[in-house]
Amino acid sequence: MSEAREGILKDVRAALGPRTGDARRAAAVEARIARHAPNLVPKRAQLDPAARLKLFVEMAEKAAATVARVPRLADVPAAVADFLAAQNLPARLRLASDPALEKLPWSERPLIKLERGPAQASDGASLTPAFAGIAETGTLMLLSGPAHPTTLNFLPDNHLVVLREAQIVGPYEEAWDRLRAAAAAKGWPRAVNLVTGPSRSADIEQQLYMGAHGPRRLHIILVAEGGDGQGQG
């Protein structure tokens, strides 16, 4: 439908008038995109690492996520087992095939049945890595990819996410910069999901209930131990 394309663009130029002939417009547009400068970043998000961490947890919990803090990555399987037990869930987990998650000492928790691949409609719980945590609103940044399929973020009733403290940034803008750096090598992901708390709806008389179509519960396992904060998982 290139006729429509030309027609729309022609109408836009006609509406904007003769200034569309000015080459400086194109230069301004290119420069703005190349610079991708942040606009105003709220003070709330400009924090030192300790305050950032505190704000992230506070905001995530306000958005009805739960947060469990563990010292080491190796503690994740135990934290998963605790969550499943506390929620009275079967010991089954859809695990993202992320190298860091695969390396965890799952053999210490032989009762948890691990499944891999994209999520199924009947899945009870999934565990995925996060790319970043955004303190400003307690938001997770999750990327699509073979090691972390998007369906794991949406189909299971319970979504568990591993986030390292070093992955927490203040404002969204810092997460975008980290993503640009990561994507330069790996390519831009098909889906970037910013997730703030579990799924909900208030479409019936404005009463809020959790678990509309996505997960009823979002459980963040926050790991203190190192890492460079770059890359998912």
Partner 1 sequence: MESTAASFKENAHQALNDATLQRAVSKLGFAAARAAAVARLPEFEELRAQGRAIKDHVLEHLDLYLERYEAEAKKRGAEVHWCRTPEEARAAVLAICRRLGAKTVTKGKSMIGEEIAINDYLEENGITPIETDLGEYIIQLRHEPPSHIIAPAIHLTKDQVADTFAANHKQYGKTRRLEEASEMLAEAREILRAKFVAADVGITGANFLIAETGSSVIVTNEGNGDLTQTLPKAHIVLATPEKVVPTLEDATTILRLLARSATGQEFSVYTTFSTGARRAEDLDGPSEYHVVILDNGRTALLGSEFRDILRCIKCGACINHCPVYSSIGGHAYGWVYPGPMGSVLTPAIIGIEAAGDLPNASTFCGRCESVCPMQIPLPKLLRHWREREFERHLSPRSFRLGLRLWAQLALRPSAYRLATRLAAAALGTLGRRRGAFRSLPLAGGWTGGRDFPTPEGATFHALWARARGGRVR
CB atoms within 10 A of CB 156: 26
Burial 10-26 (b: 16+ CB within 10 A, else e): eeeeeeeeeeeeeeeee
Residues 84 and 109: their CA atoms lie apart, in Å, by: 12
Pick 70 or 147: Cβ nearer partner 1: 147
Distance, in Å, from the CA atom of 59 to the CA atom of 42, rounded to the nearest integer, reads 15
Least gap, CB of 30 to partner 1 (angstroms): 8
Concatenated DSSP letters of 39-57: ----GGG---HHHHHHHHH
Contact 217, 158 (CB under 8 A): yes
Q: Which is nearer to partner 1, 53 or 218 (CB)?
A: 218
- Report in angstroms how near the CB of residue 73 gets to partner 1 at its nearest: 23
Calculate the CA 101 to chain-centre distance.
16
- Report, in Å, the least distance between residue 119 CB and partner 1: 8
In the complex, what is the shortest distance from the CB of residue 39 to partner 1, in angstroms, rounded to a whole number?
A: 4
| 42 or 99: CB nearest partner 1 | 42
Between residues 35 and 71, which has the closer beta carbon with respect to partner 1? 35
Least separation in angstroms between CB 110 and partner 1? 26
- Amino acid present at 123: D
Instruction: Identify which of residues 85 and 183 has a Cβ nearer to partner 1 in the complex.
Output: 183
Residue in the block written with tokens 């889906």: 191
